[in-house]
Amino acid sequence: MKVNTSGIALPAWLEIGVIPVLNIIMALFFSGLIMLTIGVNPIEAVGIMINGAFGYDEAIGYTLYYTTNFIFTGLAVAVAFHASLFNIGGEGQAYIGGLGVGLVFLTLDSYLPTVLLIPIGIIAAGLFGAIWAFIPAWLQAYRGSHIVITTIMFNFIAAAIMVYLLVNVLIKPGQMSPESRVFDESAWLPFMHEFLAWFGIEVTRSPLNLSLFFALFCCFFVWVYIWRTRWGYELRTSGFSEDAAKYAGIRPKTVIVSAMCLSGALAGFVAVNEIMGVHHRLLLNFTAGYGFTGIAVSLMGRNHPVGIIMASLLFGVLYQGGAELAFEIPKITREMVVAIQGLIILFSGALALMLRPWVVRIYLKFRSVDEVTSA
């Protein structure tokens, strides 16, 4: 008997446990095939990657530093997803968030103490990111333009603005490369190795900084916001059905704008890690595709903060382990990670339901159809 499987509910452990893991296994399987094509042993590669990501404390530092970025961009995409909006503009929002940090710090860094500078920098990153998301959101809500297209366009506009400002305005005088001057040390977010040294714990230097804690705080905040507040309820409701939301007295337009602003702010926080924590100056292309990786992270993490932390960690391992892999095996470059990322988006996102009918069929072998459909 042919059953339409999409109507059959599966228990949670299958739906949010087994199927996502199967999807990732599919993506990794195809990644392995690519490695075989270019003559690299995938098993060996995995070993090098794991060792490169966790083998020594510097590696762990790098892995968690990447993870921090992915948590921010993953949360950004997830918040928008819950409102049924697709924010492809994380890249541009993070970039403009960096501009916010840069402008504030280049003006204020020699006047204010660290305790004021750090919060101001965080607010600036979030605010600028939010502004960059506000325009597409407003256009979607009130002018009916499609948010996917506008956020794509805004990524390019952000890149053009940043190149213009860094080449012509913010560049440190007498310097060739388009970078701003280095901020005063009072505006630096402490590195993790410095932070741990205060408690007498010695670890090797790495770019990991205190923004990791802020990222984890953001996860908690997003969880509370989405599932434990009225605004989160309104956001999920209007994401689920705009008409139902209207009927319930929720204004979907306001929700679209507020959800996108929150999403943009979260993406902007990438600048907290990159600009305040690592580079300490404004520079080109510091976002390095993290905004797009956020989409993969959010899809893999099923738009839930806990899932996003796990997916971010996996991508942190891929990035850091991938760098190590490129170093060990000359045939492989860091772009291998980009290809794997593409496969993960394909299998965990676009083909997320491909394996579901099979899982349902196997599940039905153990349960009778009537029992399942009547339940």
**What is the sign of the dihedral through the CA atoms of 187, 191, 194 and 197?**
positive
CB of 36 to another protein, least distance (A): 11
Residues 348, 30: contact at Cβ < 8 Å?
A: no
Phi-psi region of 173 (alpha: psi -120 to 50; beta: other; left: phi over 0): beta
> Got the DSSP string for 266-305?
HHHTHHIIIIIIII-S-BTTTTTTHHHHHHHHHHHTTT-H
User: Helix H segments across 185-241?
Assistant: 192-198, 211-228, 230-240
CB of 244 to another protein, least distance (A): 19
Q: What is the CA radius of gyration of the chain?
A: 22
CB of 332 to another protein, least distance (A): 7
Our CB check for another protein shows the closer of 44 and 335 to be 335
CB of 148 to another protein, least distance (A): 5
- State CA 175 to chain mean position distance: 33
Our CB check for another protein shows the closer of 14 and 153 to be 153
Q: Which residues bind another protein (CB under 8 A)?
A: 4, 34, 37-39, 86, 88, 136, 139, 143-146, 148-150, 152-154, 156-157, 160-161, 163-164, 168, 292, 295-296, 299, 331-333, 335-343, 345-346, 349-354
Separation in Å, CA 20 to CA 27, 98, 132, 295, 350: 11, 33, 32, 15, 12
Residue type, 266: L
CA atoms in the 13 A half-sphere facing the CB of 333: 3
Q: How many Å apart are CA 95 and CA 81, to the nearest integer? A: 21
CB of 107 to another protein, least distance (A): 23
Our CB check for another protein shows the closer of 114 and 333 to be 333
Our CB check for another protein shows the closer of 191 and 347 to be 347
Burial class of residue 89 in the structure, from the number of CB atoms within 10 Å of its CB (0-12 exposed, 13-18 middle, 19+ buried): buried
- Contacts for 59 with CB less than 8 Å, ≥ 6 apart: 51, 52, 53, 320, 324
